[in-house]
Amino acid sequence: MYRFQLTTTLCYGPDSLRALGTLDGRRVLVVTDAFMSSTPLMARVRTELAGATAVEVFSEVKPNPDLTAVTAGLRAFLDFAPDAIVALGGGSPIDTAKAVRKLALELGHQLPAGLVVIPTTSGTGSEVTSFAVITDEHSHTKLPLTAVEMLPEIAILDPEAVGTAPPRLTADSGMDAVSHAIEAYVAKGSNDFSDALAEKALRLADTSLVRCFRDGTDAEARERQHNAATMAGIAFQNAGLGIVHSLSHAIGGTFPVAHGRLNAILLPVVTCFNAGDLGFRPHEIGPVARRYAALAKALGVSASTERNLVLALNAWVEKLRTDLGMPATLRAAGVDRAAFTAAVPALAATAHKDFCTSGNPVPVTETDLATLLKRIL
């Protein structure tokens, strides 16, 4: 027996913020960051929460939230005793809210009106997953936490919420979504349902992501890319991820490069590795390479052999990366060669232990991961 989890209600499209009306008569804790708390979007959220009994705003979340931010959020929760949490922002406020909810629950505090999330980036998929990525500031590692209680009850996918995202953030979060779709498609847990969502997510990103990057006010492209990110999130929630994410978590804990930017650098290198380093002759193509080839076909890429389809998928990722003005290597992303080289053994060990590694379609050793890390420098 297999299980495909559908928990979160999606309210999408223009005006979807009206869904906050379901919190009338409730005590609402808004979890967000300093920037978002002073935006017109926050003002609209307050307007839609006019029927709430009381609204408290916790805005101490920083990008790549750490244990200190989660502890401060928990204190705000315990002081205010909310019925509901509204998380407003990118993956950082959403993940913080999820972790706070989980910790509060463990301390015996229920959240009767649930967790409502309003993503303002189109990338992490956190609005539909049971994952939260929290940084341990002492060990410099990103801790991917998972608990079914962290699944939000409602996700409000208002494309206008992303309209203010600058090009660089649009590119970084967009490539995060693309990597979710590709990794979910080949992951050990992939299935017909997650495949459908991953394929559609990639097709939407194919036609919308660069448009969003070039013109943030392109409402049609924003809406499609926003939906794509959530579809990719549902796909990986159910199929799992792989070593693009394990390596990205490990590197991102130590070197300050955005998660999606790291994933974009890692994707082609990991695809080659998972596909058997493409050192095979066409008749020797393995089942994992065949999956990448099938995804390339679903994307509308044509090539004469399955091997060439895998290469074409990589070429598609590389072109997208170039069109989004992103670096192809860690050096180009500003990482210091000597510091990174010295860190490789520790990063490989951390990535090997990351739970995304267990979803990778082929087994990997620490030595494999160290080799891949050196390749992306």
Ligand X SMILES: NC(=O)c1ccc[n+]([C@@H]2O[C@H](COP(=O)([O-])OP(=O)(O)OC[C@H]3O[C@@H](n4cnc5c(N)ncnc54)[C@H](O)[C@@H]3O)[C@@H](O)[C@H]2O)c1
Say if residues 120 and 41 touch (Cβ distance below 8 Å): yes
Distance of CA 134 to the CA centre of its chain: 13
Residue 265 interacting entry, from Fe ion, ligand X, none, C-beta within 5 to 8 Å by type: none
* Unique residue bearing structure tokens 């708390």: 37
- State the binding partner of 173 from ligand X, Fe ion, none, CB within 5 to 8 A by kind: ligand X
Chain mean position to CA 101:
19
The H-assigned helical ranges of 87-148 are: 91-106
Instruction: Tell me which residues touch Fe ion (CB under 5 A).
Output: 176
Q: Among all residues, whose Cβ is closest to Fe ion?
A: 176
Question: Does position 189 bind ligand X by CB under 6 A?
Answer: no
Using CB under 6 A as the binding rule, whether residue 169 contacts ligand X is answered as: yes
Residue 36, interface with ligand X (CB under 6 A)?
A: yes
With respect to ligand X, which residue has the nearer C-beta, 91 or 361? 91
Q: Shortest approach of Fe ion to residue 279 CB, angstroms?
A: 29
Binds ligand X (CB under 6 A): choice among 33, 183, 195, 223: 33
Which of 73, 82, 89, 114: binder of ligand X (CB under 6 A)? 89
Decide: 285 and 277 in contact? Cβ < 8 Å.
Answer: no
Nearest residue to 147 via CA among 182, 107, 95:
95
Q: Is 114 left (phi over 0), alpha (psi -120 to 50) or beta?
A: left
Q: Does 321 bind ligand X (CB under 6 A)?
A: no
Interface with ligand X, residue 83, by CB under 6 A: no
Output the six-digit token pair for 361.
């379609």
Binds ligand X (CB under 6 A): choice among 20, 97, 165, 182: 165
Q: Are 351 and 252 in contact (CB under 8 A)?
A: no
194 contributes a contact to ligand X by CB under 6 A: no
Are 274 and 186 contacting, i.e. CB atoms less than 8 angstroms apart?
A: yes
Residue 69 CB, nearest approach to ligand X (Å):
10
Nearest to 27 by CA among 51, 58, 47: 51
In the bound state with ligand X, the residue whose beta carbon lies nearer, of 89 and 189, is 89
Closer CB to ligand X, 180 or 307, in the complex: 180
Closest separation between CB of residue 67 and ligand X, Å?
Answer: 13
Helix (H) / strand (E) containing 9? strand 9-12
Question: Minimal distance in Å, beta carbon 82 to ligand X?
Answer: 21
118 contributes a contact to ligand X by CB under 6 A = no
Burial (CB count <10 Å: 0-12, 13-18, 19+), residue 339: exposed
**DSSP bridge partners of 118:** 88
Q: Which is nearer to ligand X, 83 or 95 (CB)?
A: 95
Closest CA to 30 of 84, 74, 81: 84
Residue 1 beta carbon to ligand X: minimum distance, rounded to whole angstroms? 25
Residues that bind ligand X (CB under 6 A): 33, 35-36, 63-64, 89-93, 95, 120-121, 123-126, 129, 131-133, 142, 162, 164-165, 169, 173, 176, 259
